[in-house]
Homo-oligomer: A and B are copies of this chain.
Amino acid sequence: MPPPSGSPAPERRLAVLLSHFRPCCEAPRATTRLASVERHGTAAEAEAGLAASPCAAAGSGEGESSGGGYCVFCNIAAGAAPAFKLYEDDVCLCILDAKPLTTGHSLIIPKSHYPSLQTTPPTVLAAICSKLPLLGAAIMKATQCDAFNVLINNGEKAGQVIFHTHVHIIPRSKDDNLWSSETYSRSPISHDQETKNLVSSIKEVLSSSPEDYSAATSSTPKGF
């Protein structure tokens, strides 16, 4: 499979991949060189020549407003910004990423504006993620590959730049050169008091949030 036109040189792909995991809070020099997978907004904005405008979801009664700031995904959903659209239904869109890591790199985006996974209704996430087999299989077939990564960057420190929930589908092939260094062994989790405390802490938070269960799905949580 040939690389997409305009794709980065192979030796840069590792660095590009790392941009998924780069925080926003960094030194100015590094910031000016950063162009992560999240920079769809900048690219689309430049392509469309759009000025800042209120979020398309504002006042619609669905989702949240982006606070009056420009949200490229809201604009794409509203048809006010360009994108290569692959799929659309009542809940979501699937488009090509404006700066693809590999050929076919795509994004699934809810039509309504939710800035984080925590603020995205479980039913919306369910609808989006239920499309992964369909969309992933179609993208793999069209790009003649047999593997892909699904990635969500949630929060600045996880590399999120556009604060409108979105799911990356990144097709993979043997020769895509998304890495270049050797890997090392890492240690198994310790079976010590620290780990037990962590488990207890997470369970305690979960048990204090019973109202979330009913909204999630019809599956019934077990005692834990």
Contacts of A52 in B (CB 8 A): none
> Using an 8 Å CB-CB cutoff, how does the interface string of A140-179 with B read, 1 for contact, 0 for none?
0111011111111111111110000000001011101011
Q: Does A138 belong to the interface (CB within 8 Å)?
A: yes
Given contacts A97-B189, A155-B172, contact A21 B12 (CB under 8 A): no
Copies per complex of this chain: 2
Find out whether the CB atom of A136 lies under 8 angstroms from the CB atom of B118.
yes
Contacts of A20 in B (CB 8 A): 149
Contacts of A170 in B (CB 8 A): 158
Give the shortest distance, in Å, between A109 (CB) and chain B (any CB).
14
Give the shortest distance, in Å, between A57 (CB) and chain B (any CB).
17
Find out whether the CB atom of A185 lies under 8 angstroms from the CB atom of B35.
yes
Q: A27 vs B181: C-alpha distance in the bound complex, in angstroms?
A: 13
Give the shortest distance, in Å, between A53 (CB) and chain B (any CB).
21
Q: Does A78 belong to the interface (CB within 8 Å)?
A: no
Give the shortest distance, in Å, between A187 (CB) and chain B (any CB).
4
A114's nearest neighbour on chain B, judged by CB, is: B133
Find out whether the CB atom of A157 lies under 8 angstroms from the CB atom of B133.
no
Known contacts A90-B219, A104-B198, A126-B126; 10 additional CB pairs below 8 A are A6-B187, A20-B149, A35-B183, A35-B184, A35-B185, A86-B206, A101-B186, A128-B129, A148-B154, A159-B172
A interface with B by C-beta (< 8 Å): 4-8, 12, 14-23, 25, 30, 33-36, 43, 46-47, 84-92, 96-101, 103-104, 106, 117-120, 122-123, 125-139, 141-143, 145-160, 170, 172-174, 176, 178-179, 181-190, 192, 194-195, 198-199, 201-206, 209, 212-213, 216-217, 219-222, 224
Pairs across A and B, CB under 8 Å, 16 listed: A8-B187, A15-B182, A18-B179, A21-B172, A33-B184, A34-B183, A86-B199, A86-B202, A91-B217, A99-B186, A99-B187, A134-B212, A138-B202, A138-B206, A147-B154, A151-B152
